[in-house]
Structures are given as C-alpha cells and as structure tokens.
C-alpha cells in the first residue's frame, strides 16, 4: 500500500479519472450549445442547401434574409432547396408563419427536420395543385410527411443525392424517399399566411398547420428513423415564399424521469454488483463494499443532477454515468490491490 502511494499511482489514477469526467461534462455542454434555445429564431447563421437537376433547367434557389434576421424569402422558381438551421431541434416546439407572395405557380413549400445530411431527413411538404409530369411522376395536391434516406456521398453534385422525381413524386421513390403520410388537403392560396408548428421529440413528432384558427393538418407520428437533427425551410419550384416569425419553445421531455435517472441507476446497480464480487474474491472487509456503494450512490446522483441542471442530452448523460462508473471501478481496483498487498506480504 505504501509502495502504491510512493509510486504516485493513486494521484495519477484520480487525475486521469477527473480529467475524463470533466472532458465528458465539457463535451456535453458543447453539444447542448448546438441545440435551439427558446424565443425568436435568428436566421443569421442558417445556410442554403441547393440541389441541382440539370434536366429541369430551373435556376438555383435564392434565399433573402430580412434586415431584422427574423424572416427569409425564397424568391426563385428553382430546383429543391433547404434553408438550414445551425442548431439541432430536440424536445422543442418550433412555430411560425409562411406565405406565398406571388400569384403564379402551385408547387412545393414546407420544412425539413431531424436533418442529418443532404440525403437524410424528415420532410413535410405542401403541394398547391396536383400535377402529373411524364418525366418526374405525379405530385398530388395536399400535405405529405416523408422520410428521406438517400445515400449521400459527401458532395452535392448534379442529380445527387436526388434527381428530378425523388422529391416530386408523392408516393416516394424506393431506397430514397418513403411516404409516411399524405393528406389530400386544400391547396395553399397565394398571399395568405399559414401557421405551422412542429413539436419534435426523439421517436415522435407532431405537426399542426392552421389558417387563422382553422386547423388544416394536425397529426402525430411515432417514428425513430432520426431522433434529432437540424431544422430547415424547404422549397421546391415555388418562388416568392416567405418564412417568418419563427420561434422555439422547450417541451417537457416525455419519460424525463427515466431519461434523467435511468443511466445513473443502471450504472449504480452494476457497480454495486461488481464491487460485491471484487470484495468477495479479494477477501476484503464488507465495510469497504458499504463505503464504496455509498460513494457510488452519491456520485451517480450528482451526475444525474448535473445532467438535469445543465440540460445535457441523453447520450451525454450516459457518457457522464460511464465516466463516473470508470472512476469508481478504478478506485475499487485500487482498494483491492492495497488491501491485498499487506496480507500477501504477511
């Protein structure tokens, strides 16, 4: 035992574990800073993702942000485009208004969410009028929710990850776009503001579209293809669409009890089991088992409270619990070695 202290093993183990603990905490806080907060959505750091279909001969979208940075207009009858947030949407409600400031055309506007990359996201779109096109298929009037799962090579190229029909065809395209829901609602009308709201939680989301107080679309979906990701305004072949006054609000996370306390509780029970085994195998006093179990309880409770107060994501709570777990197991091994040392010598 003396040798262990003299060799500086204990301080080194504690230092390494403390660094790991705070590294996890730091990463968790950084991750949190990438999520939407509450209040009006500032569009300054949003970016355009523009797809290109050479066969369409349509120009590239042009997103123009207002002076106050709170609204944006897509001005051109263009190939599909996304105006993408810089933040992730998780356990959050986002709402705002959009309208078409143009009397011509009847194509798509909408939203993407849980965006992973240019080929993978959820898409909500609204087509003004049914249109069957020989080249690209039939786009039906109304609102759709689609799951986009197109392989993305890491570079946006003409016709990739989509070509003309993929986002046009209401029924979707195998291997790229799967239709989750199509509601043959009325088409959108020009110069009329529509209110949109999306409540997004991992594994379920709820979409409401209203014209004033009149509800046009109101549906909840259970799907876990993508459980978090960025949000964006979507436009396909429809110029003059203004997206404005968007704001976010935190949602009470469903199953929050389990999500906050689950990983620490599981880690604690596992640790107590491992500690008991080591105590028995090494013939150490059960007092040590009691002391370490109490320490484990306190540390895991602290981890859960830290995660709750800092509003860290579920993944970071798991990592935090694992860091605490590693710290405790190392302490346990240290105690086992120290306690065995003198008896082996004697």
Q: Which stretch binds Ca ion (CB under 5 A): 211-219, 230-238, 293-301, 335-343?
A: 230-238
Tokens of 157: 């190229």
CA angle 116, 177, 217 (to 5 degrees): 90
User: Binders of Ca ion among 106-165, rule CB under 5 A?
Assistant: 107
Assigned token pair, 292: 């370490």
How far apart (Å, rounded) are the C-alpha atoms in residues 157 and 52?
A: 7
Q: Does 228 bind Ca ion (CB under 5 A)?
A: no
Question: Could you tell me which residues come within 8 angstroms of residue 255 by beta carbon, excluding any fewer than 6 positions away?
Answer: none
Closer of 52 and 237 to Ca ion (Cβ): 237
Is 237 one of the binding residues for Ca ion (CB under 5 A)? Answer: yes
The distance of closest approach from Cβ of residue 125 to Ca ion in the complex, given in angstroms and rounded to an integer, is: 13
Residues in the chain: 346
Quick check: 56 binds Ca ion (CB under 5 A)?
no
Of residues 31 and 105, the one with the C-beta less far from Ca ion: 105
Q: Which x/- pattern over 74-113 shows residues binding Ca ion (rule: CB under 5 A)?
A: ---x---------------------------x-x------
Of 175-183, 233-241, 288-296, 323-331, the segment contacting Ca ion by CB under 5 A is 233-241
Measure the CA–CA gap between 242 and 96, rounded to whole angstroms.
11
| Stretch near Ca ion under the rule CB under 5 A, chosen from 36-44, 195-203, 231-239, 258-266 | 231-239
Per-residue contact string for residues 187-226; x = within reach of Ca ion by CB under 5 A: ----------------------------------------
Q: What residue is closest to Ca ion based on CB?
A: 237
Q: What angle do CA 251, 257, 259 make, to 5 degrees?
A: 80
Q: How far is the CB of 262 from Ca ion (least distance, A)?
A: 49
H runs (alpha helix) in the chain: 2-6, 9-33, 256-282, 286-309, 314-345
Which one, of 247, 227, 295, 290, lies nearest residue 267 by Cα?
A: 295
* Minimum gap (Å) between residue 108 Cβ and Ca ion: 8
User: Could you give the 3-state DSSP secondary structure of residue 271?
Assistant: helix
> Would you say 236 or 316 has its CB closer to Ca ion?
236
77 vs 267 by CB, closer to Ca ion: 77
Burial tier of 212 (Cβ tally within 10 Å: 0-12, 13-18, 19+) = exposed
CA nearest 201: which of 146, 149, 251? 251
Look up residue 255 and give its two tokens: 């199953």
Number of residues that bind Ca ion (CB under 5 A): 4
- Give 103 or 257: the residue with its C-beta nearer to Ca ion: 103
Closest approach, Cβ 130 to Ca ion, in A, equals: 14
Taking CA atoms, 189 is separated from 77, 80, 109, in Å, by 17, 20, 12
Shortest approach of Ca ion to residue 97 CB, angstroms? Answer: 22
Q: Decide: 183 and 217 in contact? Cβ < 8 Å.
A: yes
Q: How far is the CB of 131 from Ca ion (least distance, A)?
A: 9
Q: Give whichever of 105 and 117 is closer to Ca ion, judged by the CB atom.
A: 105
Supply the minimum distance, in Å, between the C-beta of residue 210 and Ca ion.
Answer: 25
Residue closer to Ca ion by CB (options 56, 92) is 56
Residues that bind Ca ion (CB under 5 A): 77, 105, 107, 237
């Amino acid at each position: 035992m003396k040798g262990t202290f003299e060799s500086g093993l204990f301080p080194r183990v504690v230092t390494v574990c403390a660094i790991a603990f705070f590294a996890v905490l730091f990463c968790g806080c950084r991750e949190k800073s990438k999520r939407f907060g509450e209040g009006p959505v500032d569009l300054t750091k949003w970016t355009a993702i523009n797809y290109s279909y050479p066969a369409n001969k349509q120009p590239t979208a042009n997103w123009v942000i207002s002076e106050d940075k709170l609204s944006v207009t897509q001005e051109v009858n263009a190939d599909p485009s996304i105006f993408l947030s810089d933040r992730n949407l998780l356990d959050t409600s986002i709402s705002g208004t959009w309208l078409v400031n143009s009397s011509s055309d009847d194509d798509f506007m909408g939203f993407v969410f849980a965006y992973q990359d240019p080929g993978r996201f959820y898409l909500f779109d609204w087509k003004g009028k049914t249109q069957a096109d020989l080249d690209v298929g039939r786009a039906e009037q109304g609102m759709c929710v689609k799951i986009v799962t197109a392989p993305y090579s890491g570079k946006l190229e003409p016709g990739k990850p989509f070509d003309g029909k993929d986002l046009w065809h209401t029924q979707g395209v195998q291997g790229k776009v799967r239709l989750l829901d199509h509601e043959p609602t009325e088409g959108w009308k020009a110069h009329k503001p529509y209110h949109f709201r999306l409540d997004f939680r991992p594994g379920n989301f709820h979409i409401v579209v209203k014209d004033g107080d009149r509800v046009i679309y109101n549906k909840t979906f259970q799907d876990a293809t993508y459980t978090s990701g960025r949000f964006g305004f979507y436009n396909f072949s429809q110029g003059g669409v203004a997206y404005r006054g968007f704001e976010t609000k935190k949602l009470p996370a469903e199953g929050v009890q389990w999500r906050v306390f689950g990983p620490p509780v599981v880690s604690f029970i596992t640790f107590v089991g491992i500690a008991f085994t080591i105590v028995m195998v090494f013939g150490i006093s059960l007092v040590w088992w009691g002391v370490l179990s109490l320490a484990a309880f306190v540390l895991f409770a602290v981890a859960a409270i830290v995660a709750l107060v800092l509003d860290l994501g579920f993944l970071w709570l798991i990592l935090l619990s694992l860091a605490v777990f590693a710290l405790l197991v190392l302490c346990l091994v240290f105690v086992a070695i120290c306690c065995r040392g003198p008896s082996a010598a004697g």
